[in-house]
Structure 1
């Protein structure tokens, strides 16, 4: 019965579009068809099995009853929040205003509830992770984009300045979700020069009204360029210390610890400890999910105290980063062999192939047994779930599809 649903809640698709594509791919594979499934958003090994980090699971199995069963504090374990923030900025002595959340998505949702009014819009990049729009819509908000730099291109400062000033003029405040470094879905990070330009634009706009920058750090542990990631973190820390823009981060254990199902993360503003901000975040937690699971918080605290486990985890991250890099290099080589442009992955689980009419191209690729996720700007390809050996098949199928009238 749908009459009980209010009219605006009656016309949603039966499943999330990405999950629906993945289900279709798995159904066809189970029926015996040869399928290349590049829709997956989790890290798979060469046999197609979910990668689970051994160092993490050993700690998980060692958790005691009282590390799992009791309620965690509404805002999360303060020691957990401090430890999670220090994984990114070891020099910090505290987490600032922070709350534990059910994954990175919970952190994003909390930012909407506290930094925008219903009817206002957040700003993010184009392309972006599709559920950003879902999160905004579920909170009665819109989404505005500014372009992510193309391969070898500088940041379009004029477009970003225009988007920032448009929002500030229209609503008197700006909330920017920035998935950098290791951008989902392009796999490319901002250069140091581009990052400096963007941060300066935020400084300028902050003179006109409040600006909040929330950094989405889902994929930092999987990168070809760990030194560049560390440099980016230093840049953001210096910017946050200035205090002109409220700088925070959406942090998650899902990818970094392969604890997708534990649904644990945090929203943290390490350079702001104002009681009013902490109270607002805590109230939002209480009014939505109440509190988060204790077990993953306990696990991170165990990790913080176990130097050998930390070293093993670092080694596992480097290994799988190298696997992802090899897959990305294989895909670039295969695309070039078919007369197409390389994608130049730097980090994360995805790359984006720019195409015209991505929905139509996606449908044609499915007829070839190749599954991708269509975006307005092209096709999201999950190298996290593709083997390097799959790259030629993908590139050849894409070339055939694009060559058709």
Structure 2
């Protein structure tokens, strides 16, 4: 009975499946006897979901109309749309980029909505979308959902740096046969590895983008976790300047997520932020994306948008929020340092980590045996291709101690 384009599609999500097994183990053996590294949300040291005090305070005091009414615009509240751009490009973006770039934003149902909206509108049916080989699996589902195919580039070279040569060759190959080449760069705080590109790598990459002449490039930057990265403001503003001089055929699309920014996962609030040197391209974006928003989710919850804009526009509330957030950034670093240092001690290979919620261990063909061994010890991790992802975002420091050694032993046993 399904339409032909949907026949055979079935969601297989090992994250929720494995997380359920971990919860069952906790119920049976007790929380202290289980390491649940499957969770991709921020948790405190008591293994409780992280809730920002200022977020809770502001949300509880929003006017009822802001919580229950429709948004005043299909594409989102005006102040919200401005504040998400400021969150990415800082308060001075209008002055610094005036007459150099055109920027527009649209509210979406989380970062997922932003990515889905972009692929839906810029990928032609049967085209290939270029994805990193280490990736959040939902990227693939979104491409397939919209009638596309998948091509992957090797994220890392032999030295653990961004594999520019493989990326470049894949883009050029697709450009031979496609009018539009849609690609995803998940950076900083890459999911699942915690990878971050250097400024020099970005300079090289942007020079390549600007050299493309006869093909449209739609560069999706998934920045869902960027607010938990420790890249300096100075470097971030330097990266912003690299956008200047983009040719008309290169469109940057940022996928922004309030799930991570404010730890409000269930509200499903995000944004699509388009950057181009062409006013015409940005107007086309506004027209097409608003149409898709209306026909897909109508509009996103007004309360979540009002929550964000209220905090960001009030200096005292913003300062309070940034102070709370810094404490969680520091906590993530402490957890990561424990794991990385112990991994080094036991010679456990990990993929390049700089910041963020996750650390990934490449394993190879025996990955299923390793996972089975770990689960027998009540250690639950997420399988990513031929590796395993550790959610340091949700595992307390006391449980991270010794974890690298247990993983190393499981790997050795599986050989």
The alignment's TM-score, normalised by the length of structure 1, stands at: 0.92
CA distance in 2, matches of 1:273, 1:80: 21
Name the structure 2 match of 1:86. 86
Name the structure 2 match of 1:162. 169
Unpaired segments of 5 or more residues in structure 1? none
Q: How far apart are 1:294 and its partner, in Å?
A: 0.5
Name the structure 2 match of 1:334. 342
Name the structure 2 match of 1:217. 223
Contact 2:14 2:383 in 1 (8 A): no
Name the structure 2 match of 1:281. 289
Q: How far apart are 1:64 and its partner, in Å?
A: 0.1
Residue 382 of structure 1, aligned match among 378, 391, 402: 391
Contact 1:85 1:270 in 2 (8 A): no
Contact 2:107 2:271 in 1 (8 A): yes
Name the structure 1 match of 2:265. 260
Q: How far apart are 1:11 and its partner, in Å?
A: 6.3
Name the structure 2 match of 1:298. 306
Q: How far apart are 1:154 and its partner, in Å?
A: 3.2
Any idea what the Cα deviations from partners look like across 1:73-131, whole Å, max 9, x if unmatched? 11111221111111111222398332110000000000011111121121122211111
Q: How far apart are 1:133 and its partner, in Å?
A: 1.0
Q: How far apart are 1:253 and its partner, in Å?
A: 0.7
Any idea what the Cα deviations from partners look like across 1:310-330, whole Å, max 9, x if unmatched? 001111111111100010110
Name the structure 2 match of 1:226. 231
Give runs of aligned pairs for residues 200-215 of structure 1, distance below 5 A: 200-204=207-211, 206-215=212-221
Q: How far apart are 1:142 and its partner, in Å?
A: 1.9
Any idea what the Cα deviations from partners look like across 1:156-178, whole Å, max 9, x if unmatched? 22211111011111222211211
Name the structure 2 match of 1:59. 58
CA distance in 2, matches of 1:152, 1:232: 24
Unpaired segments of 5 or more residues in structure 2? none
Give runs of aligned pairs for residues 182-197 of structure 1, distance below 5 A: 182-197=189-204
CA distance in 2, matches of 1:264, 1:53: 16
Matched, 1:347 2:355: yes
Q: How far apart are 1:5 and its partner, in Å?
A: 4.4
CA distance in 2, matches of 1:165, 1:151: 22
Any idea what the Cα deviations from partners look like across 1:245-292, whole Å, max 9, x if unmatched? 211211111111011111011101144543222100101111111111
| Structure 1 residues 273 and 48, CA gap change in structure 2 (3 angstroms) | farther
- Please identify, of 77-86 and 90-99, the stretch whose mean Cα deviation from structure 2 is larger: 90-99
Q: How far apart are 1:9 and its partner, in Å?
A: 4.4
CA distance in 2, matches of 1:240, 1:74: 29
Aligned length: 398
Name the structure 2 match of 1:23. 20
Contact 2:186 2:222 in 1 (8 A): yes
CA distance in 1, matches of 2:275, 2:213: 22
Name the structure 2 match of 1:37. 36
Contact 1:214 1:248 in 2 (8 A): yes
CA distance in 2, matches of 1:377, 1:165: 27
DSSP 3-state at the match of 1:87: helix
CA distance in 1, matches of 2:336, 2:269: 28
Q: What is the aligned-residue RMSD (CA, Å)?
A: 2.2
Name the structure 2 match of 1:74. 74
DSSP 3-state at the match of 1:254: helix
Contact 2:351 2:362 in 1 (8 A): no
Name the structure 2 match of 1:12. 10
- Please identify, of 94-103 and 110-119, the stretch whose mean Cα deviation from structure 2 is larger: 94-103
Contact 1:60 1:299 in 2 (8 A): yes
CA distance in 2, matches of 1:174, 1:230: 31
Name the structure 2 match of 1:363. 372
Residue 249 of structure 1, aligned match among 237, 254, 273: 254
| Structure 1 residues 183 and 353, CA gap change in structure 2 (3 angstroms) | same
CA distance in 2, matches of 1:46, 1:96: 39
CA distance in 2, matches of 1:342, 1:163: 25
